[in-house]
A = this chain, B = another copy of it.
Amino acid sequence: MSVTYELVKKCSKTGARAGRLHTPHGTFDTPIFMPVGTQATVKAMSPDELKDMGAGIILSNTYHLYLRPGHELVAEAGGLHKFMNWDRGILTDSGGFQVFSLGALRKITEEGVAFRSHIDGSKHFLSPEKATQVQMALGSDIIMAFDECVPFPAEHDYARESTERTTRWAERCRQTHTRADQALFGIVQGGMYKDLRSMSAKDLVSLDFPGYAVGGLSVGEPKPLMYEMLEHTVPLLPEKKPRYLMGVGTPDCLVEGVMHGIDMFDCVFPTRVARNGTVMTNWGRLVVKNAEYARDFRPLDDKCSCYACRNFSRAYIRHLFKTDEIFGLRLTTIHNLHFLLNFMREMRTAILEDRFLDFRQGFLAQYNR
């Protein structure tokens, strides 16, 4: 099997677990945060900067790459790894989330989703087969089944129908998928309904995917409801397979996700807020553009060892933001990704030393936003 999960240590008090993910492009420690490189680039970053901070797997987007530059072109280039010069892991999502987000621009049928490009309005059609073929052309290490992310809120009837269709689509993806050097993960849906989560997990597990994502969370629901769904869903997934919580990347949600037994996360949050001048620290967020930092010559976070914090002051980075200089958002992006990757490493160490619950309590006590 192209991607396998190795369980290294289980927390004695929670569902948290430390492991390793073996892929055709290297072995990566879990729990892991995957920086998002939507368009074959993690915004503002170079591959070397990502490596320097210890990034293992990045996520890229089938929807965007299908439209630009096109999956055939990426295949001609030798695949996504070569095209973007990234020799570590790549996970691509299926494009499902993006086409469903198009709202009035898309139409769902059993066959798939007809949609218009958000760029030029051109007509396209994504189906389980097509999404799988595109991802095979991209050559990512992990590809995702084409699913519908049940919106929040959703009626039980709609959520059930959607979730059942997602399972039928997952099977079609599996039948289409032929590349031995990449792994196809299934995505558990079910909205905020435990019975549907159970149904989805059971049906997908019977299809025996090499890994499972929990989808349809972090879509606007209250955080306690997300944690409740996680607590219910994760135990339904096989212990020997990796578990991926899609679209989650704030420190508090990462801690809770890890506690419930999640191994993999991705989110645009750290890079998106960075480009807006907001940085993450152990005590919460800091908006470096604020006037209070104009003459603050301390680093963003004096406990941080990232390139930005080792070399530049809040005052300088604020100046870069006030003058619209690109280097400013490069520095905040570096900081936020370094912060999150380091945060994951700290959680892993805590699990290995069987003190994860203490780590979580210590973190929550000082995290104020």
A binding-site residues for B, Cβ under 8 Å: 39-41, 43-47, 64, 68-69, 73, 76-78, 83-85, 294-295, 297, 307, 311-313, 315-316, 318-320, 322-323, 325-330
Contact = CB atoms under 8 A, between A and B. Distances in A.
Contact of A319 (B39, B316, B325): B39
Give how many copies assemble into the complex: 2
Most B CB atoms within 10 A — which of A78, A320, A325, A327? A327
Contacts of A307: 46
29 contacts: A39-B320, A39-B323, A39-B325, A40-B319, A41-B320, A41-B327, A41-B328, A43-B325, A43-B326, A43-B327, A44-B327, A44-B330, A45-B327, A46-B307, A46-B327, A47-B311, A64-B323, A68-B323, A69-B315, A73-B295, A73-B315, A76-B295, A77-B315, A77-B316, A78-B297, A83-B316, A84-B316, A85-B316, A326-B329
B69 A294 contact: yes
A69 B319 contact: yes
Contact of A73 (B69, B294, B330): B294
Nearest to A42: B327
Contacts of A77: 297, 313, 315-316
A297 B79 CA distance: 12
Contacts of A325: 39, 41, 43
Nearest to A49: B46
Nearest to A325: B41
Contacts of A43: 325-327
Contacts of A76: 295, 297
A326 B326 contact: yes
Contacts of A47: 311
A312 B48 CA distance: 12
A69 B314 CA distance: 12
Contacts of A322: 68-69
A221 to B, nearest CB: 31
A47 B73 CA distance: 34
Contacts of A295: 73, 76
Contacts of A69: 294, 315, 318-319, 322
A38 to B, nearest CB: 9
A66 B323 CA distance: 13
B68 A319 contact: yes
A41 B326 CA distance: 9
Nearest to A331: B46
Contacts of A46: 307, 327, 330
A356 to B, nearest CB: 36
